[in-house]
Amino acid sequence: MRIRIPGHLTEKVAALALKGWVKKKDFPRDVYFRTVDDGLAILSRRDDPDDPPPLEGVVAMLAYMLDREGELNEYVVAEGTHSIGDAKNWEDICSAAGWVIVQAHALAVSKGEWP
Amino acid sequence: MSERSAEQEVVPIEDLVAEVDDLLRLADERAHEARRARYGDPTDQPDISYRAAETTPDITGPLRDRLLASLSAEVIPAMQAEPGGQIAEWELDREVAKKALVGIKISTLRRVAAEMRVDKRGRADQIAERLARAFRYDAEQIARVVLENEEEPTPERGHGERIFPLTEPVDLATCVERLTVLKGRFVRVAVARWFVFGAKPVVAEGTLRFAGTLHTYAAWVTGDPEHPTLGSAPTEQLVEFELTEGSRALRVLRGSAPAVRAAARALAAVGIRLLGRLPTGRGALPGRAATLDPRTALMLDLLYSRLPHAGARKPNLTVARFRLSDEDGADEDERPSLRAVRFEGQHLLDSVTACRLIAREARALVDASLLVSVGEGDGEARFPIRLGFERDHTVVLTGFGRLRSEASAGLHAALVEQVEDAVESGVADPARLETLAERIERRAAEQSDAEQADMFDDEGENDADDLLAPGHEAQSLED
């Protein structure tokens, strides 16, 4: 399944090099991937194969998790060229990172690297 | 958490809110787990989430809303109504945003979703939900998306006029004189129907505008059986007209066709007499064009020869309605019958099916919706337009497109001028119509649709302008 990051967030993905951040060795990939699995299972209420997965809800969960974990905040501040900004901007940053994680999860599943 | 099921279950909103709290608690636990995975012993590290909370804005509220929206999309939430049984405003705003998007054709919705890099899979309401969220439910942004992607203009979102042909050219002086007398007076036009003439007419640059209200009363028996009586209730329709000195057309700027027909007796008092039909009798057109239904000939002439003169280029016919029978079907009939067919798509005149209806079956093309371009380069704008032939009048609609209404007003005025001239004078360029008719004939003989739309190639931009100027002596189709 090909995951496309929403257009209004792609600039943040690129500007903050979020794909590279998620790929780092110390990124707790397994914990986040398990959360994607659990989120998909909990948020999908209808057993309809034609129903697309509730990725929007999973990303919201991941965004909250990233906000609470605190590492994304540290990374953005340390990176230096961008600010946390207001609530809308920070929500977009967390959501952008959430989409990157969902994308990485889908790729790993397709390659047999997860679970 | 509830078990998965194929049908949507109805769930009280309070239960969904509790589920969202559970999800956020899970996410919080995983956040702690993620920190332990990074740093090992949590006692070695300061409480990062506490520090983060000091330096990052609180986004719990918006994320909670998004989770609730995601869960709500999977079930049917039952929410407490506002006082008076009203729908909660936040729910109403969101659903209105989605409803506006759902009105867009699904293929177009998917294209917009792809352009926004939003998941384009699923039903129209699911795509609309994602798009609405991507726009943060911003009413203006969503309204612009709807306007930009309209393929058929509507009276509510564009300029519209009905054009009724008249028996004689307009004599403005006579009309003004009579309207001055009739100002504020009512004229009975039918049983329990009156037309009330409005305020003083407005005359400017050879054009007269006036308005009135059609009052229609329904009647019924009421009261108790011992003492029955009659009751009535009115409906009112505002109608606004425009006339030009010497023209044989009545422009209806506001009001339905039935209202205009009902007001015909009142209009006669002003010296305006409706012809009652469209003057599209069969005339002496050459070659293939002579085999076309006269309404089709007029419509094709409009699309191929007159649109360019109105400044409209790159036509893409998206909706075409063919009349198969001229019976109006006013009375119910037990016989099966097919009176009209409607096609939707892109570049419909390039389709083999449409060409066969035109060329082989001589069906009447009576309604066409198109997307056209005006201007060039950075100034190019795309508008939806609709041209329709009714029994006794024509319809011209021009959508606002993505720009403000003033930008489409110029196109609309030019289209109205061309349509009026077409109805009054007939086919403007028989030779070009013949060329188009021959192309349609060739396409009708093919087995599959073309890969590229080319029916309107050579849109007439190189033609001599004076062939298409209104009032030019064109070949009439009048008997």
Three-class SS string for B256-316?
A: CHHHHHHCHHHHHHCCCCECCCCCCCCCCCCHHHHHCCHHHHHHHHHHHHHHHHCCCEEEE
Output the six-digit token pair for B125: 């309401």
Cβ <8 Å between B34 and A32: yes
Could you say which of A6, A54, A68 has the minimum Cβ distance to residue B27?
A: A68
Burial of A21 (0-12, 13-18, 19+ CB in 10 A): middle
Cβ <8 Å between A64 and B27: yes
Closest CA to B151 of B397, B413, B459: B397
- Is the model's pLDDT at A67 over the cut of 90? yes
Cβ <8 Å between B56 and A55: no
What distance in Å separates residue A15's CA from the closest CA in chain B?
17
Could you say which of B23, B49, B118 has the minimum Cβ distance to residue A70?
A: B49
Using a CB-CB cut-off of 8 Å, the residues of chain B touching A56 are 66, 69-70, 130, 133
pLDDT at B460: 45
Cβ <8 Å between A54 and B117: no
Output the six-digit token pair for A28: 């707790």
ipTM beyond cut 0.85: yes
Cβ <8 Å between A67 and B56: yes
pLDDT at A1: 59
- The backbone torsions φ and ψ at residue B171, rounded to the nearest 5 degrees and listed phi first, read -110, 100
The 10 Å Cβ neighbour count of residue B298 is 29
Q: Which of residues 121-160 of B touch A (CB under 8 A)?
A: 121-122, 126, 130, 133-134
pLDDT in tens, chain B (479 residues): 334 444 667 788 888 889 999 999 999 999 999 999 888 765 555 555 544 545 789 999 989 988 888 887 777 777 777 777 777 777 787 888 888 898 888 888 998 888 887 888 888 888 898 888 778 788 888 888 887 777 677 766 788 899 999 999 999 999 999 998 888 888 888 888 889 998 888 888 889 999 999 998 888 788 888 888 888 888 899 999 999 999 999 999 988 888 888 888 889 888 899 998 888 754 577 788 888 999 999 999 999 999 999 999 999 999 999 988 766 555 566 777 778 889 988 899 999 999 999 999 999 999 999 999 988 887 788 899 999 999 899 999 998 876 656 678 889 999 999 999 988 888 888 899 999 999 999 999 999 888 888 888 874 443 333 333 333 333 333 33
What distance in Å separates residue A18's CA from the closest CA in chain B?
17
pLDDT tens for each residue of B278-337: 887 545 777 888 889 999 999 999 999 999 999 999 999 999 999 887 665 555 667 777
Indicate the pTM of the whole model.
Answer: 0.63
